[in-house]
A and B are shown apart, each in its own frame.
Chain A
């Protein structure tokens, strides 16, 4: 079993749709959690950190459930520019582990 698993995707949604991604992790000692966005042939860029209390940044909402060991990302009112691969990242013991990513395509 992989340390970090994400929804397989791809997700193809129309503009304005709401889409949610889930990610599960196996190491209960993991300390911090992030969502990164990676555009084709580019490096990953931090989208947002994920906190137990849940956090929101504009159209993006991230949540962490430590008991069930999963994190989620919700994108509301999706835009064409949201098309990318979204990587779930779990960090612990000084090391970051990446999920395989979920590809989102937003269509007009």
Chain B
């Protein structure tokens, strides 16, 4: 069964609105979660690393004021796309590594959120 959930699975919004996407680890705690974005026919691009209890780490070229990340608890990270524009339309996927024996085990992915900005 799924070990990482995302909500919503898809969203359509008007340009200028903000969209919040939730990522939850279901049966394990994740001090770190990753947010990716994937455009059609392209690979996953890491946007940021979400850290529980501290600020997220953003990849080069990703605007932190536009993509707000909050890792509120050990099982929840949220990504808010602020003032979304059509070019932000994409497939957003979160992932969380499950730690076993002090070493990152498997990286589990959420089912993704398909964002369409009109």
Chain A bound to chain B:
yes
Binding site for B on A (CB under 8 A): 34, 41-46, 87, 89, 91, 94-101
Asked if residues A100 and B110 are in contact (CB atoms below 8 Å), the reply is no
Chain B interface mostly helix, strand, loop or mixed?
Answer: strand
Distance (whole angstroms) from the CB of B118 to the closest CB of chain A? 19
Asked if residues B91 and A95 are in contact (CB atoms below 8 Å), the reply is no
Say yes or no: A96-B91 contact (C-beta < 8 A), given A45-B109, A87-B43. no
Asked if B32 CB lies within 8 Å of chain A CBs, one says yes
Bound-state CA distance A43–B46 (Å) is 14
Asked if residues A99 and B43 are in contact (CB atoms below 8 Å), the reply is yes
Bound-state CA distance A43–B93 (Å) is 7
B106 CB contact (under 8 Å) in A42, A46, A99? A46
Binding site for A on B (CB under 8 A): 32, 34, 42-46, 49, 91, 93, 95, 104, 106-112, 114
Q: In the complex, which residue of chain B has the Cβ closest to the Cβ of A88?
A: B43
Say yes or no: A42-B43 contact (C-beta < 8 A), given A94-B104, A96-B107. no
Say yes or no: A43-B49 contact (C-beta < 8 A), given A98-B44, A100-B42. no
A-B contact pairs, 20 of them (CB 8 A): A34-B107, A41-B91, A42-B111, A42-B112, A43-B93, A43-B109, A43-B110, A43-B111, A44-B93, A45-B109, A46-B106, A46-B107, A87-B43, A91-B107, A95-B49, A96-B95, A97-B46, A98-B45, A99-B43, A100-B42
Q: In the complex, which residue of chain A has the Cβ closest to the Cβ of B112?
A: A43
CB neighbours (8 Å) of B32 from chain A are: 94
Distance (whole angstroms) from the CB of B22 to the closest CB of chain A? 15
Bound-state CA distance A101–B42 (Å) is 8
Asked if residues A87 and B44 are in contact (CB atoms below 8 Å), the reply is yes
CB neighbours (8 Å) of B91 from chain A are: 41
Bound-state CA distance A44–B95 (Å) is 10
Distance (whole angstroms) from the CB of A48 to the closest CB of chain B? 11
